[in-house]
Amino acid sequence: MAKKTIANVNVKGKKVLIRVDFNVPQDANGAITDDARIRKALPTIQHVLKGGGRLILMSHLGRPTGEPDPQYTLAPAAKRLGELIGQNVVMAPASVGPDVVTIVNGLKDGQCCMLENLRFNKAETIKDKEAKDKPELRQQKDGFAKQLADMADVYVNDAFGTCHRDNASMLTVPQQMGSKPKVVGFLVQKELEYLGDALNTPKRPFVAILGGKKVSDKIGVIEALLGKCDAVLIGGAMQYTFMLAQGQKTGGSLVEPDKVDEAKRLIAAGGGKLKLPVDCTIAAELKEGAATKTTEGNIPDGMQGLDIGPKTIELYKKIIADAETVAWNGPMGVFEVKPFDVGTFAVADALVAATAKGAITVIGGGDSAAAIQQAGLSEKVSHVSTGGGASLEFMEGKPFKAVDVLDNA
């Protein structure tokens, strides 16, 4: 996936359309509570502005239903970006239309505007599969994308978190750009390099750690990684479906009975590579400060598994310590509620120690990224991905059409 980057383009005097991911969390009053996604886009944004480009930013925020909705406006993001870059960011009233074109055409070199939430237009989220046999949907999606493409001289994808989607702004806009430059920003470049190197040319031993709630969410990833890794460590609630597959009782734990056969198949296919917890931390209820026990076998009725146990933590720490490449996606337990955060934070500490010894450590977004940030350790691992679902699909080896369509290096 070697792609041209914005560094390969002379942006002086050019209108540069960047798809960013400013889907930032906000409180009830609309105030941004975490601006990390805006900050991560700064290298690309500042490069274009310093190079004399005329910057047009576009993003989605939340899940509006295809109509303007004040609670999902990108105005707070535009304001915060302006504070970070020290200049005004013009907020457009919509994502397309004559008023937007007027704003874009009025930009001078080194100036910046923000289009309003892309998802205020239904065409943004029309899937290609839906549009294939419905000409009216295809016409809507293409028409919306063409209006965006026609405003720009250069297209930049710097929104890794949505690279696995075929939204109009991600796929159809670059398709409509014709021979104009279509490149990645520095954030997506970094994601592709770290995830690509970790998965395709790893230093060995290569260890993957997979947690989360459901086996069903990770079947394809587990299969793909068993073919690439030296060990795949399982945690999170999906461990209890594996316990069920081994004939053990799981009490009130979260399980997927319809995935037991899949779990059995993965155990058989994994051989010695698939590492399952040898014990777990259980409690009668999920609440802060709940009394806990450790079990190495069946979980009794009235109890539920909520974290990996101490023996599993020590086993996993040893495997991680010996690794040269580690990819982690998904927490080991309900880390948001103490004391069920022990396993997740122990794994985070183990990754930091491995990084300090020279290992490449990649955190695959989502809850595992939130956990390592909560622990204050995100700067002490090699890379924390900005895309939970995207990084998971990348690990599974699924194609990213939104990246494939961009110019090759």
User: Among all residues, which ones are annotated catalytic?
Assistant: 37, 214, 366, 389
Residue 247, helix vs strand vs coil: coil
8 A C-beta contact, residue 208 and residue 233: yes
Q: Which two tokens stand for residue 180?
A: 């104009």
8 A C-beta contact, residue 173 and residue 197: no
Distance from C-alpha of 110 to C-alpha of 16, rounded to nearest angstrom: 11
Return phi, psi of residue 23, to 5°. -80, 70
Distance from C-alpha of 251 to C-alpha of 395, rounded to nearest angstrom: 32
CB under 8 A, 24+ apart: contacts of 92-96 = 92/116, 94/68, 94/120, 95/58, 95/120, 95/121, 95/124, 95/148, 96/121, 96/144, 96/147, 96/148
8 A C-beta contact, residue 252 and residue 209: no
Return phi, psi of residue 125, to 5°. -105, 10
Element of type H or E holding 293: strand 292-295
Dihedral sign of CA atoms 195, 199, 204, 207 in order: positive
Burial of residue 106 (CB within 10 Å: 0-12, 13-18, 19+) is exposed
Q: Which two tokens stand for residue 132?
A: 């294939």
8 A C-beta contact, residue 260 and residue 244: yes
Contacts of 332 (CB under 8 A, 6+ apart): 211, 235, 236, 307, 308, 343, 344, 346, 347
Give the residue among 367, 267, 280 at the shortest CA–CA distance from 316: 280
Q: Which two tokens stand for residue 98?
A: 């004559």
8 A C-beta contact, residue 109 and residue 70: no
Task: Give, rounded to a whole angstrom, the gap between the first and last alpha carbons of the chain.
Answer: 9
